[in-house]
Each structure stands twice: as structure tokens, then as C-alpha cells.
Structure 1
Amino acid sequence: MRGSSSGSVSANEAAIILGGKRAEPTSAELIRRSAQRGAPSGDAESSSEPSAASFKDYGVNPFVTAQEDRLSTFAVDVDTASYTLTRRILMSGSLPPREAVRVEEMLNYFRYTYPEPTPSDGPFAVHLDAAPSPFTQGRHLLRVGVQGKRLSLAERKPAHLTFLVDVSGSMQSPDRLPLAKRALRMLVDNLRDGDTVALVTYAGAVRRVLPPTGMERKALIHAAIEDLTASGSTAMGSGIALAYEEAMKTLDGTSTSRVIILSDGDANVGKTSHEEILKAIRGFVKEGITLTTVGFGMSNYKDTMMEQLANQGNGNNFYVDSLMAARRVFQEQLGGTLEVIAQDVKIQVEFDPKQVTRYRLIGYENRAIADQSFRDDRVDAGELGSGHTVTALYELELEPDAGEGLATVRVRAKKPRGTTASERAYRFHASALAKTFKAAPADLRFATAVMGAAELFRRSPHAEAWSLEAVQEMARAATPAGNAEREEFLALLAQARPLMRSVAAR
């Protein structure tokens, strides 16, 4: 992390982020301080971090003519890694690589006030609304929102967790293994009686540090975490095999079993190819063991590896750059991180071609599912955790007098460890179509701002005429006083503006 003259977070602020004794500022305050010092000189589009960081470009969804294809099908995604990565890169004084920005993960980072499911809804409820687009005259935006049921602490099943920690030499810096250790201690402190923790590490070799250990021996777990040190190369594939071996020891039908990988995603010894490592975990998914990946570091961060591991392991992908981010994942959203309430969740939106001329799904490029696979229960899809929300936005070109029934949303999902999915349909009602963007619900307006920023950051061809200034205005108008999460986003947009102007000027 560079010094304060460069426009990145200062050493004192870094100490606060990593858990120093000074009072912890909000992310928005850190972003404002960084912006006040000014962005670094040079090519604004070139990342300040070495180019060894790895991202995959999934492209940008095109418009589809509803008359030719009225169905849009995708798997839900509750990952949030892309937002945290984008935030960190912007705070360092650079624009993110376009392939690092996944619109759905930006959208799903934020909390929206969807009504809770009723008993008749089952594990989740679906909510639809729409409004004229503030970006392109003559177009509309449709929001599809899914709200998962929030389970109480008493309802949560016992959790058997296996921590797989990368202790290779690349994890030495303060924002990697030291931060990962603090995050793990936080997670352990939020577990309860009946939960267990196993600990496996990998570097040039793998090591079983702790067998499954109950919370009555919490001090032993903390001590084992504290003793972790980084050195050597990275045998990720062997580490994954041993972690699942430990997870199998506590696998039963009445508890949650999850492997949690904490790494920068690098794998340079042993089974290093993506396919070899992904293949190693597919069989365990059928056994009922889920996988969460938590990324750390930046200079050689392998985003693609961490995202695909989570996708194949039926779990979530997060990125942690601070104790604030760790607290969000391992404390505030612990229920959703640990407890799956629905699996293989697929969404299919059917547009009425008499009312919708063209549409495009904004984001979810790497979550697309063939329309004919929607009712094929063998096809893997996304998982929904306790209290999780999923938000998707469509850009539409409507026929005159569109409204009632312009879209029907079908959601198909299995119960945890189930084999057969059930399906429910939700019809769009004309009353959910706002006459103007300003008249739309604040949550829809804020989600539109987040989507707009993501489209600009990834240099989407659909956003060539959009402006970050307009995004700022709509985000500000949809941010109630005291909403720290949205205030952070506003500060991030302020940090990004001079960087965007610098690129536009070239």
C-alpha cells in the first residue's frame, strides 16, 4: 500500500483498517480522505497494482428481440466480491479493469427493503417494479428482486466449518494473512455451542492444524489461528482435498457443512489448472458440503479462480480488504454466509412480445442458463442463504400502453440437499410501473445508480452516452440520511469522477 502522497490510504488509516487501536472510520470517510489528497498522476486507467492480478472478461449482454426470444434465464448470484474489489482499486487512485466489474455483484452488495416472505411464500419471495430509464429516453428499467427468509439464531442448524487458509509466501503482507486471521477470529467469536471448526493450511505442503473442534475449546481454536505464518509456494489443489477430507468427518443430515477458503487465489504447485481444482470439489457438492471463498490482497489476486471455486462449490465468493468488510461477511451477514435455504435457484423471465420490443439483462453474463435447461433439475444454479437478497435489472423498449402482464417471472429452486425443484410464477402488474423515474421507489432508483456506475466502470457499449454525474445525482436523491452503506457509495463516486474525466479527455 502506497504512502499518502500517492492518493491511496495512508499508513495510519491502513492501521485502522487492519485493526489498530485508533477509532475505526467508515469506508466513506476513508474514501473522502483519499479523494481530498487527490488521485495520483499518470494513466488513470492503468491499475496502480501490478498486472499479475487475474480477471476474466465475460462480455456484455446484448439486446434481444422479444419476438424472436421471449425468455431470459439465469442462475441467482449473491456474491459481492466485485464491489469490494472495485472499491479498493478506486481508493488506490485507479479505475478498475473493466473485466473486474460484475454488475450483479455490485447490485447485490447493497441492502434493499424487499418485504419478508410470508409463510405461504416459502423460503423466498419475488418482487417486481419498473420505471422509465433516467439514462435513455424511450426505455424502461425492470427490477426483479428476490428476498430470502431470515432464519433466527434458534432456527440455524449447527455449522461444521473447515477453514482452508493459504499460508504461502504471497500471503505475507498485512492485507492478506494477518487480516485473514483477524477475520477468522471474528467468525469463531460469532459461532455458538454445537458448531465446530477444523483448520487446514497449504503452502508448499498441506497441514492439518486442527481436527473438527467444538466451541467449548474456543481458546484452542484462537491459538491455532494466531500461530499461522506465511512462507513457501502454493499447493492449493492438495489443500482443497485435505479440507474436504476434514469436512466429511462431521457431515450428517442435520447440520451445515462448509469449507471456507481464505486466499489470494494463486496456485502454483501441484494441481494448478482451474479445471483440475474445480473437478476436485464437484463430487463433494453432491454430498452436501458447500464452499465459500474469501479473497485477500491485490497485486497477484486471482479473481477468476476464487469466483469459479465458489460457483462450482455451491457457495459464495467474497473479497475482504478491511476489518469492516470482514465484519460484514462474518458477523452482520453470518446467517446468509452459513445457512443455505434454497439451492439451484434459477430465474426465467418471460416477456410479452406484444408489450416488449427488446430487452437486455444487465449483468449476470457468467450466470446465463439455456432456456431449455430451466426445468432440467440436473443443471447446477445458484444458492440462496438466510436473509439473502438477489437483484436483477433489465433494460426494456416497450410498446405503447404496456403494463399489465408485460413480464412473468418464474423461479425454480430445490430445498437444501433436495433433488427435485419446485416452481412458482410471478406476474408483473401495471401498478408496479412508475410513470416517471422520480416517482419510482427509492430502492429502484438507488439500484439504477449502482447499475449505472458499474456499466460506466466496465465501459459498457450500452452506457457510452451515460454520465457519472447523473449517477451521482440519482444515488444522492435515493440515499436517506444516516445510511452509511449508501453514503460510502456516494463517496466512491466522488473518488471516481476525476479518474473518469481523465480517461474521457484522452
Structure 2
Amino acid sequence: MKSIKPIILSFILILFSCEYDETNTESYVDFYNIEFAGDQYNENGENQFISTETIPISTFSIDADGASYSNIRRYIQQDQSLPPVAAVRTEELINYFNLDYAYNDATHPINLNGEISSCPWNTDHKLFRIGMKAKPLNLNDTQTSNFVLLIDVSGSMGSEDKLELLKSGFKDFVDQTSDTDKIAIVTYAGSAGLVLPSTACSNKQTIKDAIDSLGSGGSTAGAEGIITAYDIAIENFITNGNNRIIIGTDGDFNVGISNQDDLISLIEEKRDLGVFLTVLGVGRGNLNDGTLEQIANKGNGTYEYIDTIEQLRKVFIYDYSKFFTVAKDVKVQVEFNPEIVDTYRLIGYENRALNTEDFEDDTEDAGEIGANQNITAIYEIVPTVEANLLNEKAFTIAVRYKLPDTDTSIPMTLDIYDQEVAFSQSSDFMKFTASVASFSMLITDSEFKGDTSYSNISNWLNQTSLSDEYNFKNQFKTIVLDASSL
């Protein structure tokens, strides 16, 4: 009988930990699926090589998220396991890191850079890197902000790595705001409620006290919370200001509108209101990563995953400028010359692909970039047998973007010339971002990983000396070593 007691106790604890919803009793019949279903990810597959004779133009939306990197870091360093393949979005691993790309042309809110080198994991191929840098945040000329914190306080948020972690971060966030900014707090569990009306940030302690008062319990009416948050944001809308909702949740929506497609439709309805979105995912076991990433993607927003106190500092303090959008609906288009390039493959951005005609269609949604943020994309290309690119214009990068308060896109271009540079002689930007891309292919066992290895990646990283104020790049070197033993 003694051996049965722990099982009975576990069974009782599971029953009591289930969030009760009397309108949906059917879901609790299969409570094992609720408790142990695990994190949910969208399967995006992997971009293949494309023939330039068939499709010579590649078009995609930028991705300024960083959630996938901090999530895979949690798997490797905390759980000591490699992440599920679907959890790995290569572009988010690359764009997690701050890079000191130059911003020296105030004609546009974003500047472009790029280069070509040989490919370190397949010497018959080349790499083509596209870099973007957003203008820095001028603290003396910053827009007044209207923030709405939308915080999930349902029962599933009760653990220390969820609501309590978010509360700590939101209090740090309050300290970064100007006294002229405003913050409202909306929570949702079984229903949505206004905890704090829009309050001037000169009353920082009042806002912090409201955050401290939050506790968890109940089911998760996420859609109702989203609707309420947008209503509050519009009621307090600042014309020519910075209007943003920041959502903190594990994404375990189970009351009202709860399936991914319907939630995306709801967000798309709100997208044109002039309110931007930041989505913060937390926790493990029932993290609905797929839905949170798509909500941010479709809602003029970005998505981050919070796994540690240091990650809180990165999102709320070190990268505070990203809460200020400088360009929206940013699209990239590259036209390849079939006489020079036989095939090409965009590494990552699988769920950010656009049709060729979408590039000039100003009704087509795309990604946003915050102040001082950098974006990188890497193509692996197979040159034609006859190709001689030395000092020839290899590609033209075309970009279209909109200013945050306009609906008409602005074009910009940059020509890239091939200097026949070996990877070992390429910029530290190329070495570092290609190393991250290679690591992503290695941990997912990509068919395109070539002859890369953890030791090769470590060697490439050790050849770089990029600015690393907060030690995240150095931490990545440790993650590579940790992953090699799993």
C-alpha cells in the first residue's frame, strides 16, 4: 500500500491543479491532456533550395522576435535536452543578439548593409548576408507612451517561472518609463478586468503596487482580455505617440475564443488601430508558443520568451528602445540573376515568406522594427558553373517599409558586390550570424547542415570580437558547448 500512496497523492494534486471552468466540463474529462500535453509549437518545415530559372525573386517579411532563442536556451541549459525541432526558428536565434551595424544615413529610419563570402559548411556554396539597423532612440525626443499591460492571472500562471517572474519584469519596466508616459493594467482569468486605469508614470509606486497585488487563479479568457486591452489603449490613445499593449502569458487560452485561427483573426481586426503589440511568453509544460508567435506576427508586434531574471533585464531594460517602433510592414525582396546564381535558400523565415506581388502591396502585413534594433537574414546560394562574380554587382536588396503612423510604403535599395571573400576573411558580423545559423541547423539535424560541427561553430565564434556589453554572445559560446554533450 505504501507504494500506491504517492500515486494517489499525485492524482489528487492533478485534480486540484486543473483550472475549473463550469462552462466547459468536457475538457476536464481528459485532464491528463491538459496537464501533460506539453508545449505547443507550429510545424513550419524548412526552406528548400529554389532554382532561379523557376523563381528568380525571393520575398519575405522581417522578423524581429527573439523568443525561440531564449526558449531553446532553456531546453539546453535548464532541461539539459535538445529542443523539439518545431521550437527552433533560425531567424529568431540570429536576431536575438544586438549587433553594432552602422546607422549613418538619417534619410530612412533603417539602414541596410550586406556582404558575400564563401560558405563554411559547404565550400561549393556562398553565403549572402542582409543586415538592417534601426535608428537609435533619442531619449530627449521620445514620443509619450500609452502602455497597456495585459497580464494573464489564470491558474496555470501560478508557478514562480510565470506570473511572479513577469511581475518582477513589469516593475523594472515601470522604472524605465518617463513621468509623462501612462500605464494601464488589464488582467484576465475566467474574465477580463481593469486592475489599474491609465495612470501617469509619475506615480510609479502606485503602478508597482498594482502589479504586486496580482495573484493567479481561474481559467483563461485570453480573447476577452485582448479585446479589453485594445479598448483601454484606444480610450487613452496618444496621437503621434507610442501606443502599445504588452501581453504576458503562457498562451494557455481555454475560455471563449481559444483556437489559433480565431485568435489571429481577432488580432488582425485590431491591427490597423495604431496600437502595437509585444507578446511575452513564460513557463513550460503548457506554453502555447505557436499561438503567441502568430499573435505577435499578425498584430504589428514582436514575441519574446522569458526564462530567467537576466532575460527580463534584456527585454525590459537593455532593449527598452524596442518598445518604440520606427518602421512597420518591413519587407525584403531579392532578385537573383540566373546567369550567376543557380539555386538559393533563405535560412529561416519559413513562416515569413511573401508572394512576389505582396512586396508592393501596401495592404499586405509584414514585420516591425524597434529603435536601435538590428535584423539579419542569410541566404545560402549555389553559383552557376560559369559564374564569375568578382567585383560584379551580385544582388540588389530591395526593401519597403512604412513609418509607424502612415499607410504608404517607402522603398530603399542597396547593391551588393562580390569580392570573392573567404569566410575566414569575412566580417565578424558574417562569422557570428552564420555560426548561429549553422548551430540552428545542427541542433535540428537539418538536411542542409553540411559538414558543420559543434567544434567548427566554436572555432568560428572564437574568431569574432563583437561588442558584448551584457555577455549574451559569450553565453552563446557556452550553449554551443552544452549542446555538444546532449
TM-score (norm 1): 0.86
| SS of residue in 2 equivalent to 1:462 | coil
Q: 2:343 aligns with which of 348, 358, 379?
A: 358
Shift in Å at residue 278 of structure 1? 2.1
Shift in Å at residue 113 of structure 1? 2.4
Gaps of at least 5 residues in structure 2 are 1-34
Q: 1:203-282 counterparts in 2 under 5 A?
A: 203-282=189-268
| Contact 2:157-2:216 within 8 A present in 1 as well | yes
Shift in Å at residue 68 of structure 1? 2.0
Q: 1:259-408 counterparts in 2 under 5 A?
A: 259-336=245-322, 338-399=323-384, 400-403=387-390, 404-408=392-396
Q: Which residue of 1 aligns with 2:12?
A: none
AA in 1 matched with 2:105: T
| Contact 1:53-1:301 within 8 A present in 2 as well | yes
Shift in Å at residue 249 of structure 1? 1.1
Q: 2:85 aligns with which of 84, 98, 103?
A: 98
| Distance of 1:129 and 1:464 partners within structure 2 | 21
Q: 1:440-451 counterparts in 2 under 5 A?
A: 440-451=426-437
Shift in Å at residue 280 of structure 1? 2.1
| Distance of 1:68 and 1:282 partners within structure 2 | 33
1:235-268 residue CA offsets vs partner (Å, 9 max, x unmatched): 1011111111111111132211111110001101
Q: Which residue of 1 aligns with 2:462?
A: 476
| Distance of 2:418 and 2:353 partners within structure 1 | 28
Aligned residues: 447
Shift in Å at residue 50 of structure 1? 5.2
Shift in Å at residue 269 of structure 1? 1.1
AA in 2 matched with 1:100: A
| Contact 2:152-2:248 within 8 A present in 1 as well | yes
Q: Once superposed, what is the RMSD of the aligned Cα atoms? A: 1.5
| SS of residue in 1 equivalent to 2:203 | helix
Shift in Å at residue 207 of structure 1? 1.4
| SS of residue in 2 equivalent to 1:319 | strand
**Identical residues among aligned pairs (%):** 34
Farther-moved stretch of structure 1 (190-199 vs 246-255) = 246-255
| Contact 2:122-2:450 within 8 A present in 1 as well | no
| Contact 2:70-2:305 within 8 A present in 1 as well | yes
Q: 2:403 aligns with which of 401, 406, 415?
A: 415
**Structure 1 482/56 Cα, relative in aligned 2: closer, same or farther at 3 Å?**
closer
| Contact 1:156-1:335 within 8 A present in 2 as well | no
Q: 2:131 aligns with which of 141, 145, 150?
A: 145
Shift in Å at residue 290 of structure 1? 1.0
**Structure 1 481/256 Cα, relative in aligned 2: closer, same or farther at 3 Å?**
closer
Q: Which residue of 2 aligns with 1:77?
A: 63
Q: 2:159 aligns with which of 169, 173, 179?
A: 173
Farther-moved stretch of structure 1 (142-151 vs 462-471) = 462-471
| Contact 1:117-1:123 within 8 A present in 2 as well | no
| Distance of 2:352 and 2:467 partners within structure 1 | 35
| Distance of 1:67 and 1:279 partners within structure 2 | 36
| SS of residue in 2 equivalent to 1:374 | helix
| Distance of 2:182 and 2:42 partners within structure 1 | 35
**Structure 1 293/481 Cα, relative in aligned 2: closer, same or farther at 3 Å?**
closer
1:440-467 residue CA offsets vs partner (Å, 9 max, x unmatched): 1111111111000011122211115432
| Distance of 1:218 and 1:475 partners within structure 2 | 42
| SS of residue in 2 equivalent to 1:186 | helix
| Distance of 1:314 and 1:360 partners within structure 2 | 26
| Contact 1:76-1:345 within 8 A present in 2 as well | yes
**Structure 1 64/488 Cα, relative in aligned 2: closer, same or farther at 3 Å?**
same
AA in 1 matched with 2:355: A
TM-score (norm 2): 0.90
AA in 1 matched with 2:99: Y
| Contact 1:85-1:319 within 8 A present in 2 as well | yes
Farther-moved stretch of structure 1 (176-185 vs 483-492) = 483-492
Shift in Å at residue 151 of structure 1? 2.1
Q: 2:122 aligns with which of 100, 125, 136?
A: 136
**Structure 1 418/482 Cα, relative in aligned 2: closer, same or farther at 3 Å?**
closer
| SS of residue in 2 equivalent to 1:423 | strand
